[in-house]
Amino acid sequence: MLKRDVVRVIKRRFHLPKPSETWRNAPKEKAECVVIGAGIVGLAVARELSLKGKEVLVLDSAPTFGTATSSRNSEVIHAGIYYPSNSLRARFCVRGRKLLYHYCSQRGIPHNQIGKLIVATGTSEIPKLNQLFNRGIQNGVENLRMLDASEAIKMEPELHCVKALLSPASGILDSHSLMLSLVGEAETNGATFSYNTAVIGGHLEGNQMVLHVCETKTLTNWDGNTPLQLDLLLMPKIVVNSSGLSAPTLAKRFHGLNTAIIPPAYYARGSYFILSNANSTRHPPFKHLIYPVPEEGGLGVHVTLDLDGQLKFGPDVEWIPHVPDTTNFLNKCDYLSFESSSRRCHFP
């Protein structure tokens, strides 16, 4: 079986920069569908493929699912306001939001459609707010409404703004419960999950993709210079690269793949600040999500609430030039998660 091949230790090591040296020596195994990465996207893909009757294998270098960006985000269900009209992202966000609410309701996944206010804090931001309003209407977002300052402050007394855009369709969810549900359904339909298993590259043999696979501990202990062993050559009919921020780097290691189709990667990381006042969860200062007008590189430092009433500010944005290859494959959260950490702040 595949897992026995994956965990088998091959004593001889091979150089990662020259994968052709390893192809002849590692054991081979066939598979129908391989999903690389057990984050929220990979889990959703695995579930869908398994529901279609496909034989699915999910590989992740971490010891469990959802350890990177999927567990380090705002847990917000977005309405579909921000993306360019008629773009796939706009269409998928609007449709996906409806499907997500339906999925959570059917399966008892904790969620709450609390709504969002996007605020202009100065008159210079009002034109951008109007653009967002018009874009949201074009994208099919329901019940958007512009509020003047008094209306917004009546809804949120602690808010200071000159105008606000209300999005009632926005909400929050428990991302871990969602991922648990996706894993459970995928496994029920025959999907297999192999954790601590890293895909470090691949090559094409005709129209066949061959994946280069090794144990995570092999990559962890690798010094970057000595030859690196492969534990397995995996030959799937379908490959889904859902390895998050590692996806572009990994795709470039699929030898024979046209690199022109791989989008460039821009890395950033950010921090959240948690409101830790003793009464903050009992009586949080805000009842809605509060967002600024978007800034370059993100949606700006915003206010989010979780389902327990805990309030967070963030994330900020720190652009970083690159991350090491090994860090990519090991899915290291301190480098790869765009929203990577939380800090606690006390407010009077």
Pick the CATH number of 112-170+272-314 from 3.40.50.300, 1.20.1530.20, 3.30.9.10, 3.40.50.1360: 3.30.9.10
DSSP string, 173-202: E-HHHHHHHHHHHHHHTT-EEE-SEEEEEE
Q: Which residue has the tokens 């062993």?
A: 229
Which fold is adopted by the domain 28-70+177-261?
FAD/NAD(P)-binding domain (3.50.50)
Task: Give the pLDDT confidence score for residue 322 in this predicted structure.
Answer: 73
Count CA atoms within 13 Å of residue 216 on its CB side: 16
| Domain limits, the chain | 28-70+177-261, 112-170+272-314
pLDDT value, residue 24: 65
Contact 146, 90 (CB under 8 A): no
What pLDDT was estimated at residue 337?
A: 33
User: Residue 42 and residue 5: Cα distance in Å, rounded?
Assistant: 23
Report d(CA 136, CA 123) in Å as an integer: 21
Handedness of CA 62, 65, 67, 68 (dihedral sign): positive
CA atoms within 13 A on the CB side of 326: 13
Alpha-carbon gap, residue 44 to 243, rounded angstroms: 13
> What confidence score (pLDDT) does residue 268 get?
82
Q: What are the per-10-residue average pLDDT scores of the chain (348 residues)?
A: 33 38 76 97 98 98 94 93 95 97 98 98 96 97 97 96 98 97 98 96 91 90 78 95 92 92 87 76 86 85 90 88 60 38 36
